[in-house]
Amino acid sequence: MRVLSVASECAPLVKTGGLADVAGALPAALAGQGVDMRTLLPGYPAVMAALGETPEVARFDDLFGGQGRVLAGRAGGLDLLVIDAPHLFARAGNPYLGPDGRDWPDNPERFAALSWIGAHLGVHGAQRWHPQILHGHDWQAGLMTEYLRQMGGGPATVLTIHNIAFTGTTDVGRMHSLRLDPNRYTVDGYEFWGGISALKAGLMGADALTTVSPTYAEELMTPDYGMGLDGVMRYRRESLTGILNGIDTDAWNPATDPAIHPYGDLDGKAANKSALRAEMGLPDADGPLCVIVSRMTHQKGLDLVLAALPALLDHGGQLVLLGSGDPALEHGFRMAGEQHPDVAVRIGYDESLSHRLIAGGDAILVPSRFEPCGLTQMYGLRYGTIPVVGLTGGLADTVINASPAALAQGVATGVQFSPVTADALRNALVRLCQLYADRDIWPRLVANAMAQPVGWDQSARAYAALYDRLAAAR
């Protein structure tokens, strides 16, 4: 089965969030299911540097404002097709944001080019390799189905929604520059509340839709979570499947992780906890050491942590945060770190430090207001770092709440709270401290967490089965 994955970012080459982790992990995960997946990526500077000199497989004289070509090669352990278009992608820093922290003004055209070339490769292939499935990710690949339609059709298409909050919306005046058929500016096409939405186009046009957890698939069909597209999701419900993400269990393996003191059980975590406290300047404490590794946004619920933090500290707990984002949240956590000796804050991102936090923490806080899947709670499970999570999306699907019934049956792996409010989080943190103080329950929680399957095996089988069904229907 030949599948072209079309993504705007892909680990380890370029990453701003979980989409990159998924796009980077899928090819290897699916190889065991007999899927030959290649990944189409924009030629950002980091990608071009990793790719080196490679053969050209397609050339375009006018690729949304300049010349472009497609290069085939291998980098980061991935088989790649890379769009070399300096006028669109040869820019330093974030793939989506300029130096001022705002979206690049030509983002609609930049990612229309990604979709256009995805459709072109679906129709014409790359040298002698022709995909049977085009698998696009999020709004950046959403226009691919519109372009396929203009090209006379092609292989079956899948669109995965990693976060429906990003709809790829722009002004209707861009219709011509985006090479869109004006006759498709309808409720059944790419029209979205008087504008153009690349995501809406993909949701309406793809043969199959997936999202990254079963619970998020259900949530998307409700006004609270659908971000104005809940009606579309209900309309396409028969084509929608929730397939839970996995994590790279080789990169995230406490027994072999080079960033930490390797361990395999609760006793082995002690050295990492001591090292983390020393590194972050924290004293010993009686309560749990909680960690956060997160983008600092409203979605992630970190304002709730600031409100609930006194409850954790009053019960002997500690907090270490690694993240960046909203300036007000950054300021709030900096102040908390200055005012409380049991709080340490590192603004920014450091991959190695994230491993040390998750290995050294007793618990990881993921209080998201909505979370399509989430990966950090699964990293926590893998490392025996008990997740405290809001009851939403993939957090609901991956963590078994330490309810009396789950504890009695010996299956609990974390603490869930609902509704996702500061009061509910306070209660959850008090509950966490109580569980931590119970020398019988806590070791069982950690052992259960570390035994929880968090890899790609089951999800890879689900994707492969979906591809098979779509290819057979052609």
**Numbered residues of the known binding site for ADP-alpha-D-glucose:** 15
Q: 98 with 120: CB under 8 angstroms? A: no
In 314-414, which ranges are E strands?
A: 318-325, 343-347, 363-366, 386-390
Whether a cis peptide bond, with omega within 30° of 0, leads into 327 is no
Q: What is the C-alpha separation between 110 and 425, in angstroms, rounded?
A: 41
- The pair of structure tokens assigned to 135 is 């698998």
Residue whose C-alpha is closest to residue 330's, from 101, 157, 148, 114: 101
- The pair of structure tokens assigned to 183 is 């006759």
Q: 34 with 67: CB under 8 angstroms? A: no
Q: What is the C-alpha separation between 158 and 5, in angstroms, rounded?
A: 9
Give kind and range of the element (H or E) at residue 117: helix 107-124
On the 0-12 / 13-18 / 19+ scale of CB atoms within 10 A, 19 is buried
Q: Which residues are annotated as a binding site?
A: 15
Q: What is the C-alpha separation between 4 and 125, in angstroms, rounded?
A: 10
Q: What is the dihedral of CA 187, 192, 197, 201, to 10 degrees?
A: -20
Residue whose C-alpha is closest to residue 451's, from 266, 319, 318: 266
On the 0-12 / 13-18 / 19+ scale of CB atoms within 10 A, 222 is exposed
Q: 296 with 328: CB under 8 angstroms? A: no
User: 234: which residues sit within 8 A by CB, 6+ positions away?
Assistant: 221
Phi, psi (deg, nearest 5) at residue 463: -65, -45
- The pair of structure tokens assigned to 428 is 């959850």
| Amino acid present at 407 | L
Q: 394 with 371: CB under 8 angstroms? A: yes
On the 0-12 / 13-18 / 19+ scale of CB atoms within 10 A, 421 is middle
